[in-house]
Structure 1
């Protein structure tokens, strides 16, 4: 029996006429409805014609509706809630499909699916035959699958099925952006029941360290625990606590203690929690006892946790980040956005007045990002690139996306697909790529499943890929083979999910047509996991999944991956003595030189070569190394050097390039033969370039390296090693740069003379090494000179020396010095040097290099 009383109380009912009108007109709409309004449950039932608009006319025409949710827990919960509203069981009028589980019947007209399942369905059936309406729920979260589904559906509407209706729904979203994307679709807003929601700002008393990678300051978690206890004391109802990840949930649960001490039952909700635990949380407390529900972002959207009146928000979230240069992907902890904070707070006011305790300062709130970072901007795009290629748009240029994929990230993704044979040289999907796309795992893992099945058998390959598709709990350790055995023996929630996924993958991999199923090709046993064969099997599959991460030992628990990134094992790891590893999970903190290995398998060199065959290269390597040219015949697996031998008669062009690299690293001044005269010539040319510009050459290190062809040939082409460079006379080579063609070369000594004659008759060397030419001369030799000497029109900087050759004064204006500075110098030095002349008027005295005549 339909629960009309509940349906009639859902606030979204007021927006349904406008939504129906939008779908009957343009065929697209953006639905904005606050949490708890019935957006996820009532709207699909009305659009399917299963229930009338509450308080309105009889139900509309029967339509088949597909609702796409971002997470499995939300898809199952939404289907169960709608079935309950209809007074039915799931699988009747309402069903759901998530990866590995499908509950639908022949009478099902509303099907709730994950966005990943809908992507697969669209690739198999672009027209979505029989589907009338698609609702993309929680589109504000900007998951990559949801963005891709929206783009594909808009393509379908534009080319195949203009009558297909499309709704983008969310509680907090960029409504204008989605409306533009959907062709200026109408925005339909529903007002929620205005249950009062009090915001309590509860920052830590002392500053805590900001999140760093996956690390969260333990002081913040301790503070969250204290806020939970405060909320239990100050408020009635259940408490929903938002934390960034499973690890933080476990630590907070441990600090909260047992039920008796806390006065409430502590429950944990996250993507890895068993389905029965998730269901128990969503069912509410039957006995009226209070509950504290510790949750990740899975509890933000699409479902109501009954009894919750209080939210405690840690203010943190997890987002994917990818280091495309090193091939490392990981989750990182970030500050939650303003939209996320509003979404979380809304959980407290769904059923009655509530409160949200925010573990940060009110002033800090305004500095938060408005929306979460779109996943397309920060994530590994290999799966997206494969979906786009299967759709027939390899570069995604024709897809309607709110944010375009970053060019560098998309290029890196397409390179991965080419390496595993999923796309051809032009980026078009191959038959193998189509098979990979239908396996429901990342393309790397699809490659491991298909190729690994040939090597070790379909079942064993599937079991290892299932381990890699959902990282085992940290308690399983860092040895992938040991984790495989633990999962096989285990009775925990992870082991149950692993077995279910392994069965699915074994079936899907077998249908891929590439598995022989016996695992005998390379001697991995008879298909049973026994002893050392486990390590070999796991290593093969992990290496196929992550060929750029095959790594050879450097010693002391350090390894070098084929990608060129260093990797280190934790102290005490049983893998430290392995000669080779296939690294399955690693992360690299922003300030660390090496990645930290979280999960890996022991392999041998043959396995590494086989899995990473596309990285195997052999050839001549001539480079500048340890201060000289090194020429070798080298065989490499990516950055890992497998073998090397000296190379006789290396290619001259390669040697020349190596010598230039040496000049770049150490500088021409360090490697060529520079006499005092050649250094002086370089300084004179540098001065003329600064003072007069062209045609006088730039002789800086960078310019000399860029113009090596103009001044170092033919000596450079004849050189073979460092010693040959040291024999090149730099001054003679530099003279090739003089402006001979313009006739200016002959003016070098006129414009920048090596020496200047002073009144005493001496010819004094000019130092051109600084910004201004310097003439260092004894003061007595300039008597009678009233104008400062110039070179190329630039006054020299005169360093006036004492009779002992020590600096006495510096001036760029001799006339001013004689008037204002000479007296002080004369008074200081005449007593120290009485045998030298110190006339009262130096402008009228005769310059001299000699002492005064003895009387």
Structure 2
């Protein structure tokens, strides 16, 4: 029997007529409804015609971002109808399907809907699709929306599409859905009081996955405070499983039953939390899975730590990880709303009120920050390899898409034009990341479907940290374990084994790059037979099988040992194992899970398996290259023949006669890196370069630019044939740079003959001495003893520029600096004469220098002369 009382209490019912009119008129709509209004439960039932016997029944598919939300929404709708799940309301999530012949409303995860669209683009039999919690901007949800808009435009214009959320960019979604109407519902009237509860002392901001333990201790204290100050159950939001476990440990003796809710939590725990309290007070520690679509009965208080997890990808190194960030304003509103769903409540926010306005408005769209390999494969299978034709709120970043397509090409999922291959289509339908799909397809052929599936199941959901960093050991622990992880692992392994049953034929197109594993008769670790199952003769041990499958999944992460627990991955990134790991002495590793802390030189290995060189070559065949290498390295030319696996050098031997042109390029690279100081620069050579630089600056063409950049770019014009004869760094040091620079003089125009006229190397002064001119500064400098310039009123010039005359004392120290000798003799000389004639009485200091003969000598020598 339909529970009309419960349905009548859902505020969204007041806007249902407007919503139906919008969908009838436009076919698309955006529904904005706060938490607890019934948008997830009442609206699908109304659209399906299940609450009004006089309406035609429509089939409705509701897409939720998470499995826990999909199950909960289906159970709630079935309860409202007075039925069990599997009747007119059912659900489908990965590995679990509860539907029946009479199912009209089906709740699915966005990943399931994505797979369904790839198999049946028309969505035959479906009348309405509801995209719930679209504000979370998960990549699967954005992709599903784009595909559905394509379906409406090309195949089924009658298909209705509703985007629903509590807090979202309504205008953006309305534009995306073709100027769809926006229908807004008012929220539950229960007020939620905000209590600002920042830590008493500053805590360190989150760094990667690390959260300051002081903040977690503060959150636990706030939970205890909330239990003391308020009635009802407490829902506490934390960024991840590790933080939940730490806070749970600090709540011992708090006088309440503590539940831990996250994506990995057993279904029984999730069900118990959603079923409500049996009398005792409860504290529910949850990740963001509890933000949306879930009503946790009995909750009157929310404690919000203010943090969330978002994906980040280092495309250059092939490393992806979650990072801890400040929760957005939208997420904070969603979390606070959990406290007011059933009665007045309160939210304790563990940050300062002044910081609230600095929070981002919405969470980062996953398409902007995540690994796009799976998205790129879905787009290729849809027929739009670069995703340029898809209607997306945010376009995928070009660099991330290029990196994704490179991965897909390497594993044989797309062809040279980016179109999905038959192999790629099969990978896309496995419900796995393409890397793991490749591991399952190729691994099944090498070691058998069941064993490959078991290892891939470990890789698809990272095992608990207490399982250790050894993938093979974790596999054995999962097999014998009776914990929640082990149960989920066995279920997923069975699903994958079934999906991989025909992988032998599917893999006939070859492994990475279209070859490799298909032509190999051995198996993991160099032993076994293709397709062998567990227990078959020579099938290979756990270590060998785990290593091969992990290497298939992450070929760029096969790594060779460098000693003391350090490794070099094929991607070029260093990797380190923790102290005490039994893998530290392994010659090769297949790294399954690694992260690279900010500013760290090497990645930290979280999960890996021992492999040998043959396995590394098999899995990363597309990275295996062999050939001559001639380049500048460590200050000299290195010429050798190298076989390498990505950045890992396998064999190296010196080249006796390297290609001269490649040697020349290496030397040029050395000059670019280390500068022209590698050449031999005498004083005359440096002087010539300075003179040419002066003339280029003052007169311009045809005088050449002799800056480092210009000379390096024009080596063919001045450094040949010396450079062509050079073979190593020492040869560069024997090249006379001054002689080579002469080739740049403007000989063709005849201006070269005027070099000494325009920029003389020396100037003859009145005493008869020839003094060198320095051109290294902005203005030519002539440093000469003051007595040698007596009688000269006109300042010497170079290319029309007055020379800066440094008039020196008899000891060679500057006594005066002038670019106007006439002015100096008239105004400045007297002060210099007064200061120095007593210090240097043996030298002439006439009162009128303009009429005195210049001299290089003392007065005594002058008298003798």
**Same-fold call, TM cutoff 0.5:** yes
The answer as to 2:207 corresponding to 1:212 is yes
1:160 Cα shift? 0.2
Q: Structure 1 pair 87/750, CA: closer, same or farther in 2 (3 Å)?
A: same
Match in the other structure for 1:703? 710
1:265 maps to which of 257, 263, 278: 257
Partner-residue secondary structure (3-state), 1:34:
coil
* Contact 1:520–1:526 (CA under 8 A) maintained in structure 2: no
Match in the other structure for 1:664? 672
* Contact 2:637–2:663 (CA under 8 A) maintained in structure 1: yes
Deviation sequence 1:735-767 (CA, Å, 0-9, x none): 111223333222222221111222322221111
Partner-residue secondary structure (3-state), 2:500:
helix
Match in the other structure for 1:403? 394
Quick one: distance in 2 between partners of 1:520 and 1:606?
10
2:858 maps to which of 835, 851, 854: 851
Quick one: distance in 1 between partners of 2:783 and 2:94?
85
Where do residues 540-559 of structure 1 align in structure 2 (5 Å cutoff)?
540-559=548-567
Match in the other structure for 1:42? 42
Quick one: distance in 1 between partners of 2:824 and 2:416?
76
Partner-residue secondary structure (3-state), 1:25:
helix
Quick one: distance in 2 between partners of 1:171 and 1:756?
85
1:95 Cα shift? 0.2
Match in the other structure for 1:90? 85
The answer as to 2:623 corresponding to 1:628 is no
Quick one: distance in 2 between partners of 1:728 and 1:853?
49
* Contact 2:198–2:352 (CA under 8 A) maintained in structure 1: yes
Partner-residue secondary structure (3-state), 2:859:
coil
Quick one: distance in 2 between partners of 1:821 and 1:514?
98
- Of the structure 1 ranges 736-745 and 383-392, higher mean CA displacement relative to structure 2 is found in 736-745
Partner-residue secondary structure (3-state), 1:810:
strand
Quick one: distance in 1 between partners of 2:504 and 2:540?
28
Where do residues 96-135 of structure 1 align in structure 2 (5 Å cutoff)?
96-135=91-130
Match in the other structure for 1:809? 816
Partner-residue secondary structure (3-state), 2:55:
coil
Quick one: distance in 2 between partners of 1:772 and 1:589?
51
1:818 Cα shift? 4.3
- Of the structure 1 ranges 413-422 and 336-345, higher mean CA displacement relative to structure 2 is found in 336-345
Match in the other structure for 1:189? 184
Quick one: distance in 2 between partners of 1:853 and 1:648?
70
* Contact 1:453–1:514 (CA under 8 A) maintained in structure 2: no
Match in the other structure for 1:255? 250
Q: Structure 1 pair 849/548, CA: closer, same or farther in 2 (3 Å)?
A: same
Deviation sequence 1:605-627 (CA, Å, 0-9, x none): 00000000000000110011232
1:471 maps to which of 462, 474, 478: 462
1:800 Cα shift? 2.4
* Contact 1:118–1:149 (CA under 8 A) maintained in structure 2: yes
Quick one: distance in 1 between partners of 2:814 and 2:398?
61
1:809 Cα shift? 3.4
The answer as to 2:760 corresponding to 1:753 is yes
1:822 Cα shift? 3.7
* Contact 2:445–2:504 (CA under 8 A) maintained in structure 1: no
Where do residues 601-620 of structure 1 align in structure 2 (5 Å cutoff)?
601-620=609-628
The answer as to 2:541 corresponding to 1:533 is yes
Quick one: distance in 1 between partners of 2:41 and 2:633?
67
1:193 Cα shift? 2.1
Deviation sequence 1:484-522 (CA, Å, 0-9, x none): 111111111111100000000000011334489999755
Partner-residue secondary structure (3-state), 1:584:
strand
Match in the other structure for 2:484? 493
Q: Structure 1 pair 77/817, CA: closer, same or farther in 2 (3 Å)?
A: farther
Deviation sequence 1:320-369 (CA, Å, 0-9, x none): 00000000011011111111111111111111111111111122111111
1:691 maps to which of 693, 698, 716: 698
- Of the structure 1 ranges 636-645 and 782-791, higher mean CA displacement relative to structure 2 is found in 782-791
Partner-residue secondary structure (3-state), 1:510:
coil
1:198 Cα shift? 1.5
Match in the other structure for 1:427? 418
Match in the other structure for 2:784? 777
Task: Quote the RMSD (CA, aligned, Å).
Answer: 1.9
Q: Structure 1 pair 511/680, CA: closer, same or farther in 2 (3 Å)?
A: same
Match in the other structure for 2:515? none
Match in the other structure for 1:55? none
Where do residues 556-567 of structure 1 align in structure 2 (5 Å cutoff)?
556-567=564-575
Match in the other structure for 2:316? 325
Match in the other structure for 2:660? 652
Quick one: distance in 2 between partners of 1:139 and 1:343?
13
- TM-score normalised to the size of structure 1? 0.96
Q: Structure 1 pair 788/4, CA: closer, same or farther in 2 (3 Å)?
A: farther
- TM-score normalised to the size of structure 2? 0.95
Match in the other structure for 2:144? 149
- Of the structure 1 ranges 783-792 and 392-401, higher mean CA displacement relative to structure 2 is found in 783-792
Unaligned runs of 5+ in 2: 508-517
Q: Structure 1 pair 754/225, CA: closer, same or farther in 2 (3 Å)?
A: same
Match in the other structure for 1:310? 301
Q: Structure 1 pair 723/393, CA: closer, same or farther in 2 (3 Å)?
A: same
Quick one: distance in 1 between partners of 2:834 and 2:196?
75
1:701 Cα shift? 1.4
Where do residues 255-404 of structure 1 align in structure 2 (5 Å cutoff)?
255-257=250-252, 261-287=253-279, 289-404=280-395
1:847 Cα shift? 2.4
1:268 Cα shift? 0.6
